[in-house]
Amino acid sequence: MNEKNTTGCHALIISPHPDDADLGIGGTVAAWTGEGKKVVYIICTSGEKGTDNPKVEPMSLARMREKEQVAAAEKLGVTDVVFLHYQDQMLEDTPTFRKDLVTIIRTYHPVIVATTDPQYPVIWHRDHRITGQVVLDAVYPYSRKRLAYPDLIHQGLEPFKVTEVLLWNTGQPDFYSDITDTYNTKLAALKCHNSQFGYPDRGWATSLRERHREIAVERESRLFEPLRRIQIYW
């Protein structure tokens, strides 16, 4: 991660666990990559506690979910998947976590950073709330301020300004991304997460389609992902 990236990427997707990003913004990601734009996935934990099955060991589940995430990302056209290996259910707003994300932002130079909304819903996985907040703090002010991490300057990672943030799982959507043409690609990606959703389909795919249709601004058979959009002008 310390090697400076000179090509940049269109979007940096920062997800608490495997599958979160695919569920929240996968259709939009597929649209971007379909246009030839580079998208990078950052997965903060490997989701090793994401099961109620007493027969599944955490490390075994972590390996399984990482493989599922890589396979899902490939379906969406994402070739760069980075796992930070923080402990599932133990994410905290720490200087180390924040600096890791700043390092990543300064490395990949994204136009857009996308993550989960830290403010919604009220009862939600703590890892989601923490990830969303730390990402927002990393975007501003830390990735932009030269004196925030002087040692990163010595590594060639100069301050970088992100111009747009997109938040999924939000209670305040103001941007509706039309995923009608990429919905099936999103569905194919989600089916890779067999440890979480199980396949063959047990009804969740139909529910997901109806959810995307219900939240559409313009119904008429279109499917949308509801996002909160933050444009940074300063």
The pLDDT value given to residue 203: 65
Q: Who contacts 162 (Cβ-Cβ below 8 Å, separation ≥6)?
A: 105, 110, 111, 112, 113, 139, 140, 143, 232
The pLDDT value given to residue 145: 95
The pLDDT value given to residue 102: 98
The pLDDT value given to residue 193: 95
- Cβ 205 vs Cβ 134: under 8 Å: no
DSSP string, 7-38: S-EEEEEEESSTTHHHHHHHHHHHHHHHTT--
The pLDDT value given to residue 198: 75
The pLDDT value given to residue 1: 39
Extract the residue ranges of the chain whose pLDDT is less than 50.
1-6
The pLDDT value given to residue 6: 47
What is residue 87's DSSP assignment? P
The pLDDT value given to residue 3: 42
The pLDDT value given to residue 219: 54
C-alpha of 98 from chain center: 16
The pLDDT value given to residue 234: 80
The pLDDT value given to residue 2: 36
Query: Domain 9-231 maps to which CATH number in 3.20.20.150, 3.40.50.140, 3.30.420.280, 3.40.50.10320?
Result: 3.40.50.10320
pTM: 0.90
